[in-house]
Amino acid sequence: MGKNKFSGVDISGYRLMWMMVMFDLPVVTKKERKIYTKFRNFLLDEGFEMSQFSVYFRFCGPKERAEKFVRSIRNNSPEKGHISILFFTDQQFGSIINIQNNRSVKNPEKPEQYLLF
C-alpha cells in the first residue's frame, strides 16, 4: 500500500490502525442481558462493526486517534465482565483470513471518508 494523506501527514498502511474490541459479559439474568445490549449498542453507535458475537472492529486512522475510543470504552464499560482491545495496522488487518460458511470472505475496506484525506 502506498502512502496516503491524513490531516496533512503522509501515512503508510503501517501507521493507520484498526481497533478490535472483544468482550465477555455475563448474560444470565434479564438485567445482565440489558447491560450487554447497552454496551453492544454503544459500540455500534461509536462506529464499530460486528465481526462475530462479542467481537467488534473499527478503522481508527492514526494510533493517536484511537486513544479517544479507548477512553470512551473505559467510561462505558459495564461493572462486570471482561473487555480486551487489540490494535492492528492497516497492513496487518488486510492480511486477516476470514472464512464464512466454508468460503473466503473479503475484509471490509477503510471508510470512504478516510480515503479522501
Q: What is the predicted pLDDT for the residue at 50?
A: 94
What pLDDT does residue 115 have?
46
The span from the CA of 45 to the CA of 31, in Å, is 21
pLDDT reported for residue 1? 40
Considering the entire predicted model, what is its pTM? 0.77
pLDDT of residue 15: 77
Task: Report the amino acid identity of residue 75.
Answer: N
Report pLDDT for 45: 97
Closest CA to 73 of 27, 30, 39: 39
Tell me the pLDDT of the chain (117 aa) as tens digits: 444 455 544 455 667 899 999 999 999 999 999 999 999 999 999 999 999 999 999 999 888 888 999 999 999 999 999 999 999 998 898 888 888 898 888 877 766 544 444
Task: Give dist(CA 107, CA 117) in Å, integer.
Answer: 21
Q: What is the predicted pLDDT for the residue at 117?
A: 45
Whole-angstrom CA distances from 114 to 41, 80, 101 are 23, 35, 31
> What structural domains does the chain harbor?
10-93 (3.30.70.240)
Q: How many residues does the chain have?
A: 117
- Is 36 strand, coil or helix? helix
